[in-house]
Structure 1
């Protein structure tokens, strides 16, 4: 059975997993949807209740019936590399490709429909509460009065993006930032604004969940650091045991969200509380594995692979 990996051609994290799949002798096909149509091709038939689908790329032809699993890593926009790209061609190609893949009986890491919902930060916060995580008080609002009330109640707060940096070239960095006392919140009316109580932290924690396997890593924070993604703390990521309570909450979250893979970010305070910040359904793990030696790529490869009896 074959593994299909949907990602761009420049993806070091995918390369790490592909190496592990090769070590296991698992057939795989790597496809960037941006290459379709052109360097890649597809065909799907729906006749009298039967379905037949095929993908061709890099000289490989794979049938949908031969797929074991699909890893949606970092796929490009369909038809982006076409000789004459257009929004219409992208829409048509997306319908054809993903419609065909949805018709196959495969395991997904993660299914695109599930992933689209999992990216919504407000929904993440609701799910985190249901799963039993400690979640900082948060408001998302376009009412300046509500923002002022939130700031008055929690005093020390941060503002952060709900969707991440806006698209553009060069890319824009939008770090989580503390809100100064006396801030004028009238600008909140111009667009939804996410405000959250500031958590004084002593460390950042990244927990990578691959199926039921959990890999936690900890990095000591610099004094007063707000956003662990920016700035050098002088400390490296180190492996960390996962407390039972956190493990239960992570597995509940994964089950409720329908995810097979996720990267959780926590802020650890002085009382050892892990505060839920966000869950990235497609988060990077390569930098964690390189610093900690945790076998995350091997875990992903194992999840994607056929059982041993099917590989023989």
Structure 2
């Protein structure tokens, strides 16, 4: 009897998107080991040997309900994992222990042989940097709105004056709380008169405002491209999902190929792109979310995105 190679899924407990993909894999009889790095300890153990065994690494990962040989993993779906914070320890001990987990557990997972990463965490990290994305997108021929990343107030004021209408965007999504309240930073209009010396503290991203008629969320899974047009009157459509309407559309073949090539540049096999259409129906590049959300789009449109992810993970290699 041949034992099937497992699919590893790294994510937090409350992840309905991962649930949909795992359910599809379960219907196919594909073994799945789901875990969250934050559970390291009694609920998650890992052992790996290097140098003294035929495989490299050779060892196991164990959860309360599953055990898998890490060297046999066919694919790793890196969804929404959390790293432990060790709040029960002193600040110094927590910092030290957290570092050991990231470099120990993380290092083992990052080194798995013959395993398809969807996506490899280190490549995700490299692709998350918006200035890098913008530079690569421009070099690849995408239409990129004029953008400035700067902590120089004079340069920022000059740029905003030159553009006329511009917006501020965060360079990286970061959890932010005021007391017990979670805060969100949206894309917002900004003028030169609003800029003061506090800009010097860190680089900020400012971008010319596109006179858009619609947004596009494009989910690429391997060689499959799913595109949804999002219509609203919002500058940042994430502010109110109840105000959105959705329509499945097709991108031109050359644009589909370009987005797949963009992912390949970073060594990724999946990603969620944000584009927009102006009043002349020209496409403008906004950003890539290398591990972006898509679950709600499948629910709204019926697109078989979970099936596409299950296909990719089951196959264990890109076609």
**Aligned ranges 1:19-98 → 2 under 5 Å:** 19-48=23-52, 50=54, 51=56, 52-77=58-83, 79-80=84-85, 86-98=94-106
Structure 1 residue ranges without an equivalent (≥5): none
Please state whether the residue corresponding to 1:74 is helix, strand or coil.
coil
- Structure 2 CA distance for partners of 1:88 and 1:155, relative to 1, 3 Å: same
Q: CA–CA distance in 1 between the matches of 2:211 and 2:23? A: 40
Q: Which position in structure 1 is the counterpart of 2:144?
A: 135
1:292 counterpart = 2:298:
no
Deviations 1:205-260 (A, max 9, x none): 100000111000011121xx211111357442221111123212202211111111
Q: Which position in structure 2 is the counterpart of 1:195?
A: 206
Q: CA–CA distance in 1 between the matches of 2:107 and 2:247? A: 42
Tell which deviates more after alignment, 52-61 or 228-237: 228-237
Q: Which position in structure 2 is the counterpart of 1:242?
A: 251
Judge conservation of contact 2:168–2:207 (CA < 8 Å) in 1. Answer: yes
1:262 counterpart = 2:266:
no
TM-score normalised by L of structure 1: 0.92
Judge conservation of contact 2:160–2:191 (CA < 8 Å) in 1. Answer: no
Please state whether the residue corresponding to 1:174 is helix, strand or coil.
coil
Q: Which residue among 210, 217, 226 is the counterpart of 1:206?
A: 217
Aligned-residue offset at 1:49: 5.9
1:122 counterpart = 2:131:
yes
Aligned-residue offset at 1:80: 4.0
Q: CA–CA distance in 2 between the matches of 1:235 and 1:7? A: 28
Q: CA–CA distance in 2 between the matches of 1:42 and 1:184? A: 50
1:102 counterpart = 2:136:
no
Aligned-residue offset at 1:103: 2.8
Tell which deviates more after alignment, 42-51 or 173-182: 42-51
Aligned-residue offset at 1:83: 7.0
TM-score normalised by L of structure 2: 0.90
Judge conservation of contact 2:110–2:121 (CA < 8 Å) in 1. Answer: no
List structure 1 runs of 4+ shifted beyond 6 angstroms.
none
Structure 2 residue ranges without an equivalent (≥5): none
Deviations 1:31-79 (A, max 9, x none): 11111122111111123364312100023111122210001000011x4
- Structure 2 CA distance for partners of 1:89 and 1:182, relative to 1, 3 Å: closer
Tell which deviates more after alignment, 240-249 or 54-63: 240-249
Deviations 1:87-133 (A, max 9, x none): 22221122221222233211101111101111111111111112221
Q: CA RMSD in A?
A: 2.0
Q: CA–CA distance in 2 between the matches of 1:26 and 1:97? A: 24
Q: CA–CA distance in 2 between the matches of 1:307 and 1:265? A: 27
Tell which deviates more after alignment, 170-179 or 25-34: 170-179
Please state whether the residue corresponding to 1:65 is helix, strand or coil.
helix
- Structure 2 CA distance for partners of 1:307 and 1:172, relative to 1, 3 Å: closer
Judge conservation of contact 1:238–1:291 (CA < 8 Å) in 2. Answer: no
Aligned-residue offset at 1:186: 3.3
Q: Which position in structure 1 is the counterpart of 2:191?
A: 180
Q: Which residue among 161, 181, 187 is the counterpart of 1:170?
A: 181
